[in-house]
Amino acid sequence: MSDRLEEVPRAGRLACFCPPGLAPDEECDLAPSGLAPAALGAVMAGFALSVLAQTLAIGVLPIAGMLLAPSPAWSTAPYAALLLGAAVATFPASFLEGAFGRRAAFALGASHGVAGGLVMAWAVSNAHFVALCLGAFWLGVAQGFSLFYRHLVGLDARAGANRAMAAVFAAGAFAGLVGPALATFAAELAPQRLYAGAALAAALAQVGVMALAWAAPTGAAVATERALRAERPVTWTALAAPTGLGALAWFAMTAIMIGAPSAMMGCGVSAAAATGAVAWHVVAMYAPAILVPWLAGLVGAPAMAAAGLALMALAKWLTGGADSYLPFVAALILVAVGWAWTTAAATQWLHQSGRPSRAQLALHDAALFAAAILGAFAGAPRP
């Protein structure tokens, strides 16, 4: 009897509220059931520009670190600072969007990227190693905020969450297509300030992220009472498996990737060819994520995550015997595809388990970046 009474409309009852940028379904059982195309497009564009800034920074940091570090042991410190900044940002990214609103929180994150790019440009122009690490750290903070975008659409687009998360992740392939051309343009524009130009381009990309943050969905929807009762929290036990597999993927990716460019040039591969290989690597890091919802629907998200790790193990085997361009390219593409599959599948797996809390999402992303930091030191070239 009480259940029947709850379904009877009553005066003053707010059954569903859907703010701008969110598209409810016909019955509005759970608002939002999907993101409006414009809102999803803004999130995808913001993530793509953030990955572009990250790609430009990664192109600068290894070489600048070797040139400016006081000793070879410190050469990977700027790259580690980038990852550390991203790890530190995970908890603020998760909690500030609830305290101040998503648009303000993500714009704040991108502003750190703008400042970081400018500081990096000054650091490489003035040969200042500490400033280089500081700029990399701030760019990493921006990266930590932008990685949270996939969780944003996963929480909002409940009916099509898997497809929305995959679309946002796949948008990062834009960086692999545009990054090398932008770096070449910066080199032609200021050949004596090559690395400073790339750092300034990274800052400009973060300006775009900051502008697009104001088009992000607000997430201020209220669901019906029936839909709210259907939501279930993710247990901490359920969090462990997707987080653990995702962390393994981030460790392996960083460990293999950080030493690949120098290993290629050590085998006689030109710098231009190595840059081209890295560009294809970035495309392969993100584009395959678009297939994960379909493939995971066939075999399950856990199997997809495991398949990605298997590809990364194969890539590690290839790099062990690589002595020419093609084996290196094959290894870089394989490790990127494996990383994309495992990361996207782990994210889908996490959200399928229920509705994760802000603390759980922050811990998940922090574990990924912590594993990447360990991978950076594990894969650093030895003197």
Considering Cα of 257, then 260, then 261, then 262, what sign does the dihedral take?
positive
Per-residue pLDDT, averaged over 66-93, amounts to 88
pLDDT surpassing 80 at residue 228: no
What are the tens digits of pLDDT across the range 106-121? 889 999 999 999 999 9
pLDDT at 310: 96
Per-residue pLDDT, averaged over 353-357, amounts to 83
Per-residue pLDDT, averaged over 171-185, amounts to 77
Residue 255 near residue 378 (C-beta atoms within 8 A): yes
pLDDT surpassing 70 at residue 377: yes
What are the tens digits of pLDDT across the range 132-154? 999 999 999 999 998 888 887 77
DSSP 193: G
What are the tens digits of pLDDT across the range 13-65? 444 444 444 444 433 333 334 567 777 888 889 999 999 998 888 878 877 88
Residue 175 near residue 54 (C-beta atoms within 8 A): yes
List beta partners, residue 35. 22
Q: Whole-angstrom Cα distance, residue 218 to residue 228?
A: 18
DSSP 203: H
Residue closest to 112 by CA, chosen among 210, 201, 195: 210
pLDDT at 221: 42
pLDDT at 305: 95
* Chain mean position to CA 96: 18
pLDDT at 272: 63
Q: Whole-angstrom Cα distance, residue 373 to residue 380?
A: 11
Q: Whole-angstrom Cα distance, residue 251 to residue 244?
A: 11
Considering Cα of 286, then 288, then 294, then 300, what sign does the dihedral take?
negative
* C-alpha pair distances (Å), 57 with each of 45, 64, 65, 135, 244: 18, 10, 12, 10, 27
The whole model's pTM is what? Answer: 0.78
List beta partners, residue 23. 34
pLDDT at 275: 66
* C-alpha pair distances (Å), 331 with each of 181, 247, 380: 23, 20, 17
Q: How confident is the model at residue 259 (pLDDT cuts 50, 70, 90)?
A: confident
Residue 301 near residue 349 (C-beta atoms within 8 A): yes
Percent of the chain with pLDDT over 70: 78
Longest dimension (CA), the chain: 79
What are the tens digits of pLDDT across the range 66-79? 889 888 878 888 98
Report helix, strand or coil for 323: coil
Per-residue pLDDT, averaged over 86-97, amounts to 84
